[in-house]
Amino acid sequence: MTNHPGQISFPGGRIDSGESAWQCALREAKEEIGLDSEKVTYLGRLDDVLSPRGFHVECLVGLVEDFEPVLSVEEVDQIFWVPLQDVCDPEKHEVKPWHRVPGIRVHYFYFPECTVWGVTGKITFELRRVLMNEK
């Protein structure tokens, strides 16, 4: 990958001409993990996130049941399954200053299989905030 190699992220990519953000999300999920769009129910969106490198991320949420991923080896090394109860567990979440930019704070989530941080940590925090009905 050209952008963010070796980092943990949700499926995503650039919106193609004439494509909506939801269509892009479904296409990217199909390309990266083999997700059939017919199995996804749109639930809504989280607050957009701007990365420190200037990437604008529209965060869309869908519900998927009964799904067996098929990884695109060109784009994905592995998938981590994280129960929503772990996302909502305050013991698994920490906010720390980012050593590269003063004043920037980074969300970290410590799950058994992986540590999520950075933009993915921010998106995960936004999901947690909505699930827990926090302001």
Give per-residue pLDDT as tens, 13-61.
999 999 999 999 999 999 999 999 999 999 999 999 988 788 899 999 9
CATH classification of the domain holding 71 = 3.90.79.10
Residue 49 located in a structural domain? yes
Q: Decide if 11 is inside a domain.
A: no
In a domain? residue 110: yes
The pLDDT value given to residue 115: 94
The mean pLDDT of 68-95, rounded to a whole number, is: 93
In a domain, residue 28? The reply is: yes
Give the number of domains in the chain: 1
pLDDT of residue 75: 86
- 10 CB neighbour count, 10 Å cutoff: 18
- Residue located via tokens 């001409």: 17
Q: Model's pTM, two decimal places?
A: 0.89
pLDDT band at 4 (very low <50, low <70, confident <90, very high): low
Is 108 a member of any domain? yes
Asked, for residue 7, whether it belongs to a domain, the answer is no
pLDDT at residue 116 is higher than 90: yes
Q: Which domain holds residue 106?
A: 21-131
